[in-house]
Structure 1
Amino acid sequence: MSEAGFIPFGFQYYRSPTPYRDQWEEDLRNLSQMGFNCVKFWVQWRASHPAENAFVFDDIRELMDIAGRNGLKVVLNTLFDVAPAWFYKKYPDSKMITSDGTVIEPRALSYRQIGGAPGPCYHHAPGQLEKDKFLAEAVKAFRDHPALWVWDLWNEPELTAGIKRELSFDNQVCYCEHSLQAFGGWLEHKYGTLEALNYKWQRTYQDWDEIEPPRGQAVFNDMVDWRLFMSDALTDDLKCRIAVVKQLDTVHPVMVHTVPSPIFNLITAGSDDFKLAEPCDLFGNSLGSSAWSADLLISAAKGKPIINSEIHALPGNTALKPQKLSWQELKKHILIPLARGISGFLFWQYRPEVLGHEAPAWGSTYLDGSETPWLREMASLNQTIQANRNPLLCSKRPSDGIAILFSSENQIANFSVYAHLDTYTDSVQGAHKLLHDLNYKVEFIHDHDISKEELAKYKCLWMPYPLYLNKQMTDVIREWVSEGGIVLSECSFGALQAEDGTHSYQVPGYGFDEVFGIRETWIHSIENLDHSYHNVTVQSKQKIPLNSALGNDPAQGSYYKTEIELLRDVRVAATFSEDSSAAVTVADYGKGKAVWIGTLLGASYWQEEDRNTLEFLREIMEKELGLEPYVKVHGGQARADVLEWKHDGEEGAFLFVHNTTNRDTDFTVSLPFAYDGVTPWFPEGAHALAGNDVTDSIRLSLKAGDIQVFQLHEPFIR
């Protein structure tokens, strides 16, 4: 970050026109006096550029001055999805068009109250120039202000600012002439020749001008390219913004904050966290309080500093009022990401909203700006974190060497197949939850990052429902397994081939029948067509029981039951209860191992959190594969994370423990080191300690849903 030893802890404060000017001085003074150190102000294109030749930053400048007087660091968040009225009048051809021909007219939204959403098409060249011009003026206005900390150049990147976020073929953008022309150029750059494109899409185009973007459910490769093209448009727009800032301001870092999958997807939102993080100095997100979103964000950031830019602790609207924020819920919002190494926290927002449908929710204060109990608790929690700032900032969370494949192309292909993303997102989130609940550190690797060098960082790769794959990727994975890696894959591995979009004649595809030692001969879905004109949505209304060969009670699969032929001597770890056919197999391949699962195990666990499924996977991971978590939990369902640190000649560790159940739980945490003493962060934490007398483990008793932090003192004996 731009200042050593800085953990931002504060609030989103200003989204024009609220809070109103007569509240600024008192609010910013109060939050500074309570110990908070950071605020965020929106710099909105429409609000600050009301006429073509007028730039009005008086409100932002006054706020910056007040913040500076009160010792507050400022995040300036630039907003371009609120285009000025004059812009639309001058450039009527800038409006985005959906697949069904709907022109998206500018409008106000509950979260864009000043109007102008969603802004111009990303391929409208004059629109890009106008955005660059506005950003340059904003940078010149504030680059030398002493209160400025960081430029946040995009608030929750997505294609239509939420207007057409609902997942459907008709809601895709953009089908205007600007985008269609740009798509042709993007394809020509990617493929080089029409022959290569025609092979990939199975078409007969004779000219680049003939290319038609997909509009519905048909084949797969055109849809994959079409959505990757629009996702690239978001990333390219961010790169343009960063270039403008870096040209004018070489001092302050730049960042973006996103909304994690599956809330934002690659179909209608176009947001790819891994791509968006790459050009930034810092990275952040909204809704980052869950283990899923925190782990995904950290993997996308690849070691860059991270802040939770919008903690949504008090959501609501005029119809659905917010709930009061309890101490326990507040701790979860901060401590779950902190346990993973995220070290910055901004709540949405300081005052409750008073304008539009978001009123009267989201407030850390009461409507009149007075203190709430949870505001005082936020201040107390911040005080504790700042007291441990230096060791926290130099702490590390050891890896367990396990990665989940996060595939943009497989996500798009799944949508093209199912017209929804449940199979993909349930499988990926379920894989994460299974590993998380077994207390592994869960990491993700993007499909575009698969390489020999990247895979060398991991012992095990989980491939959730890998329906759509390509030869280049699978060749790398195959070599990695042969050299000692462990691949764990659900059914239909490479059934759809990226090279030409066809279904493989043999599954697993790309020669992985040799790796897994099996061949899929038939796959049964829970739902079937009774005739070709009957519309049936693939769901998972019933579970598929599996009998473990490892002595566990029956686990559960979902969506599909696969029949296989065993090609060589493999170990059958589970059978389908219905007919005792092989359901999970383990094969040796070279120096590595390959686990095949003939159903969607992750999706099943995501939907029902079946305890037997969890225990079955524990047996597979620990006994079959020899993969144990760095920190282990025994005797109760809880999560434990360790951050280890060395600072100024001292060393120690922070232990975060979370009772993830709705009942009081006793459990023991086993550590890979011995410690000399333990100190709870919070007074109630002392009651959670259960007479510990063994220095490489700690016995705890936590209330339902509670989360606690303990400092473990040196010396360490490993």
Structure 2
Amino acid sequence: MRHLSISEYLPFGTQYYRAPSPSPADWENDLRNITALGFNTVKFWVQWRWNHPVENEFYFDDIDRLMNIAQHNKLKVMLNTIFDVAPTWIYEKYPDASMLTLDGRRIGPQTQPHRQIGGLGLCFNHTEAMEHLFRFLRETVKRYKDHPALEMWNVGSEPELTSSMAEMRLYADNAGQMGDMLCYCERCQFSFKEWLGTKYGNIEQLNIAWNRNYRSFEEVEIPKTRNTFNDMIDWRMFFVHTLGENVKRRFEVANAEDQGEHPLLCHHVFIQGFPVTSTANDPWNVGQYGDLHGITQMDDPMMVDVVRSCAKGKPVMCAEMLMLFGYTLDLPKPIDMNDIKRFVFTGIAANLKGCIFWQYRPEILGREAPAWGLTYLDGSPTPWLQSFAEVNRVVQKNAAFLLEAVPQKAEVALLYHPENQIFAWTATGTEKTATNSLLGTHKALYRRNFKVDFIHPIELDHGILQNYKIVYVPFPYYLSEKICQALAAWVHSGGILIGESYFAGWYVERGHHQTMVPGYSLHKVFKARQGAVAPPDENGKIEIEIVRDLGFIKKGEKAYGAIVKEAFFIEGAEVLARFSDGTPAITCADHGKGKAILIGSYLGLPYYQNDYEANAGLIASLVDFAATIERPQVLGEAKIRADILTAPKQQTMIITQNLEPAAVAASIYLPMQASNELTEQFSNERLTMQPHQHGAMITLALAPKEVKVFRA
């Protein structure tokens, strides 16, 4: 962040303006108050529909005035260009510009609670309409690139296929609503066939992958059901490509006008609300572009790790902190200091270098009213605004350190695989089968203080596996031959692979099920292969009994699988756990210099959905059993997350979070050199560090859900 900023600072502030709210009568007083509270950054939306109301006329009076007020109050501005609100004249000029659903509905233009001015529904493959979009971006950048208040551009704000139409995403978690799938217009169908030609090269290769007998790409039928896999996965991945090309062009246009004077932000959406099947959300796809990355931050630490991982060393910040999510008569609970500290310092622990709260005043338009705000409806301060300001004061006090600080290096990685997520939807009717498996596995490791990265199939050509001791693959059904060959070679050279049921069970290149599972000869790596497969018992459970002590879970204890009970034929592996009928459930095998652990069910999924604490212990135990990972370790049963940030000259920050709703006291081993004393940054509490083994030990008490931040 330091080298991107016009001046040296850590951005911290709030979203302020989404036309036509707040009222112009409030602007001067509000921005003056934002400065008085100690914040340094505000975000203004520049919206295509609002600021380009006529084809050859632009309206920038509101943004002009806001930029000048911000400058007067010494506030730095992130300008957020919003493109999904297409102007009325676009739909009049191009009646075919709206996206078309599978069931034949033209969906645009329309409003949403968070897009009250309307205009949603424009098709990304309508070339002529898109040229007007890029013209709007070009004119916006040209107008404000020299304004002294401008700090950065957000030209890739939450890019996703449904263009903020939330209900159009829901079929990815409920296949019964599949009629909402986008987009089936003629332009998308034509472009899809062109894309297939590029991907496969010739129709013969597509026929092998799809098991068809087409004579040309013109004959290709657009998938309309989820009864076959490869065709539907290609159809949805085409829109990932479409979205990526659109975002790429935005950055090209903005950079051509701005000439590198201001950093360009790519702002990602979160996996829980934006499934790749319906929204084309793949952070690694759009994350190729821009100078820094932003995240819409929810109350889950996984997505900050995802965005940090896909950013590949580029700065990352919270571009929207959603803490007061709500709708009319469906309002959020008030938040307190520890809630705010948890959000902010979870991000900082993951290497986020800035924070923008959504939003300053409560919304007054549409169904988002009257939620979301840091202030009361009349603009007067709330207790949580004062708490947010206090957190900012601590952040700014440590800004010089934080701009240079880095978290501990992750030695464990999870595979983030969009095609596999689409496969999960096609197979089970909900993408959550795969994404909740990821979320549950990450949660289990996070709560045991493992630092976790995410890796993507496109990175395997760049030697990414060599950065990790362990790669864990939840719900690994759809893995290509290339992925499996890379994993096998990595294990042979010393890596440790942990995988769940039906590992590489689908023969991706030929579009049919594998006849040997694990597929692609990985049964030789795991030294076990699939035997009988059964569903859960009559109570809907799959019991897995541990047959040896494994760190956080002991012999005889039970965890629970989900969906399938896949027993194994053992071909050299050690059995670590068995199903209730005595058949092998978890195995471990040596392969070359490495190890491979195979799980005959799904562990992260039921942990995330049903909170089976034994599953969390088992997941963490398998990682702990397989390799020595340097990490903070809590003595006893207290659930405390501890993160260590370090900067040059041996500077250190230790962030501790009580993950439980009850007070705790515990000792924590830290893999770092002991210093004389730690100082808590909010209370000035002093804490002594004692040398212990190769690191240091601290003892502290935390109130329910409390967060404490220490500096050495």
* Shorter-chain TM-score range: over 0.9
Say which SS state the counterpart of residue 375 (structure 2) adopts.
Answer: coil
Matched, 1:604 2:613: no
1-structure distance, mates of 2:219, 2:313: 43
Q: Residue type matched to 1:555 in 2?
A: A
Q: Which moved more, 1:151-160 or 1:591-600?
A: 151-160
Residues 518 and 564, structure 1, Cα contact 8 Å, conserved in 2: yes
CA distance in 2, matches of 1:499, 1:602: 28
Q: Does 1:183 align with 2:187?
A: no
Give the equivalent residue in structure 1 for 2:135.
133
Contact 1:549 1:575 in 2 (8 A): no
Equivalent residues in 2 for 1:601-640 (5 A)?
Answer: 601-622=603-624, 624-635=625-636, 636-640=638-642
| SS of structure 1 residue aligned to 2:96 | helix
Q: Which runs of 5+ in 2 are unaligned?
A: none
Match of 1:534 in 2: none
Counterparts of residues 124-203 of structure 1 (less than 5 Å): 124-160=126-162, 161-162=164-165, 163-167=167-171, 168=175, 169-203=178-212
Other-structure match for 1:73: 76
Contact 2:675/2:689, CA 8 A, preserved across alignment: no
Quick check: 1:274 aligned with 2:309? no
What corresponds to 2:655 in structure 1? 656
Match of 1:537 in 2: none
Report which stretch shifted further, 101-110 or 131-140: 101-110
Alignment match, 2:471: 461
SS in 2 for 1:469: coil
Spell out the pairing of 1:274-313 with structure 2 (5 A cutoff): 274-313=284-323
**Distance in 2 (alpha carbons) for counterparts of 1:451 and 1:51:** 48
Shift in Å, 1:110:
1.1
Partner of 2:508: 498
Matches within 5 A, 1:342-357: 342-357=352-367
Listed one character per residue, the Cα deviations across residues 324-381 of structure 1 (whole Å, up to 9, x for unaligned) are 2211111112111111111110011011111111111111111111111211221111
Paired amino acid for 1:705: K
Q: What is the number of equivalent residue pairs in this alignment? A: 691
Check conservation: 1:548, 1:573, Cα contact below 8 A. yes
Residue 693 of structure 1, CA deviation: 4.9
The SS at the match of 1:35 is coil
Match of 2:569 among 565, 569, 573: 565
Deviations 1:528-583 (A, max 9, x none): 9xxxxxxxxxxx94342323322342222222111211112x2111111x212111
Task: Measure how far apart 1:238 and its partner are.
Answer: 0.7
Classify the secondary structure of the residue corresponding to 1:456: helix
Q: C-alpha distance in 2, partners of 1:527/1:164?
A: 35
Q: Choose the corresponding residue for 1:330, options 340, 360, 370.
A: 340
Give the 5 Å matches for 1:530-569. Answer: 541-550=540-549, 551-552=554-555, 553-568=557-572
SS for the counterpart of 2:655 is: strand
Matched AA of 1:563 = A
- Structure 1 residues 617 and 355, CA, compared in 2 at 3 Å: closer, same or farther? closer
1:487 aligns with 2:497: yes
Shift of 1:260: 1.2
Contact kept? 1:548, 1:555, Cα under 8 Å: no
C-alpha distance in structure 1 between counterparts of 2:669 and 2:44, whole Å? 44
Letter in 2 for 1:35: G
Deviation sequence 1:402-458 (CA, Å, 0-9, x none): 100011111111111111123211211111112112210011001222236111111
Q: CA deviation at 1:19?
A: 0.6
Contact 2:470 2:623 in 1 (8 A): no
User: Take 1:526 and 1:401, find their aligned partners in 2: how far apart are those partners?
Assistant: 34
1:669 counterpart letter in structure 2: I
Structure 2 counterpart of 1:607, which letter? Q
Contact 2:266–2:289 (Cα < 8 Å) also in 1: no
* One-letter identity of the residue aligned with 1:625: A
Contact 2:277–2:431 (Cα < 8 Å) also in 1: no
Is the 8 Å Cα contact of residues 12 and 348 (structure 1) preserved in structure 2? yes
Residue 125 (structure 2) aligned to one of 123, 126, 132: 123
Give 3-state SS (helix, strand or coil) of 2:353's partner.
Answer: coil
Q: Does the Cα contact within 8 Å between 1:432 and 1:442 map onto a contact in 2?
A: yes
1:705 maps to 705
Residue of structure 2 aligned with 1:589, choices 567, 591, 603 = 591
Is contact 1:289–1:337 with CA below 8 Å preserved after alignment?
no
Determine if contact 1:508/1:519 at 8 Å carries over to the other structure: yes
Give the 5 Å matches for 1:467-482.
Answer: 467-482=477-492
Aligned equivalents of 2:567 and 2:476: distance in 1? 17
Which of 25, 29, 44 is residue 28 of structure 2 equivalent to?
25
Alpha-carbon shift at residue 285 of structure 1 (Å):
1.4
Query: 1:166-189 CA distances to partner (integer Å, 9 max, x unpaired)?
Result: 124322211100101100111111
- Match for 2:241: what amino acid? D
What is the identity percentage for the equivalent residue pairs of Structure 1 and Structure 2? 37
Alignment partners' CA distance in 1, 2:690 and 2:528: 50
Q: How far apart, in 1, do the equivalents of 2:360 and 2:619 lie?
A: 43
Q: Report which stretch shifted further, 103-112 or 180-189.
A: 103-112
Q: Note closer, same or farther for the CA distance 1:357–1:611 as it changes in structure 2 (3 Å cut).
A: closer
Q: In the alignment, residue 252 of structure 2 is paired with which amino acid?
A: A
Superposed, which structure 2 residues align to 1:2-151 within 5 Å? Answer: 2-3=4-5, 5-118=8-121, 120-151=122-153
Give the distance between the partners of 2:542 and 2:279, measured in 1 at CA: 31
Q: Could you report, residue by residue, the CA deviation over 1:384-403 in whole angstroms, capped at 9, with x for unpaired residues? A: 11111111111111224110
C-alpha distance in structure 2 between counterparts of 1:596 and 1:321, whole Å: 44
Letter in 1 for 2:561: G
What letter matches 1:47 in structure 2? W
Match of 1:227 in 2: 236
- Say if 1:373 and 1:253 are closer, same or farther in 2 by CA, change over 3 A: same
What letter corresponds to residue 422 of structure 1 in structure 2?
K
Cα displacement (A) at 1:154: 3.2
1:533 aligned residue: none
1:82-135 Cα distance to aligned partner (Å, 9 max, x none): 1111110110011101111111131121111111113x2111010111101111
Q: Which amino acid aligns with 2:192?
A: F
User: Structure 2: how far apart are the matches of 1:332 and 1:270?
Assistant: 29
For normalisation by structure 2, the TM-score amounts to 0.94
Structure 2 CA distance, aligned partners of 1:542 and 1:565?
A: 22
**For 1:586, what is the secondary structure of its paired residue?**
strand
Q: C-alpha deviations, 1:298-348, integer Å up to 9, x for none?
A: 112111111111111222221112322211111112111111111110011
What is the deviation of 1:461?
0.5
Do the aligned residues in 2 keep the contact of 1:8 with 1:37 (CA within 8 Å)?
yes
Gaps of 5+ in 1: 529-539, 713-718
Q: Is contact 1:564-1:582 (8 Å) kept?
A: yes
* AA in 2 matched with 1:443: D
Contact 2:440–2:608 (Cα < 8 Å) also in 1: yes
Asked if the contact 1:165–1:269 (Cα under 8 Å) also holds between the matched residues in 2, the reply is yes
CA distance in 2, matches of 1:619, 1:43: 49
CA–CA distance in 1 between the matches of 2:545 and 2:421? Answer: 27
C-alpha distance in structure 2 between counterparts of 1:615 and 1:186, whole Å: 45
SS in 2 for 1:166: helix
Name the Cα RMSD after superposition: 1.7
Rounded to whole Å, the distance in 2 between the matches of 1:607 and 1:265 is 17
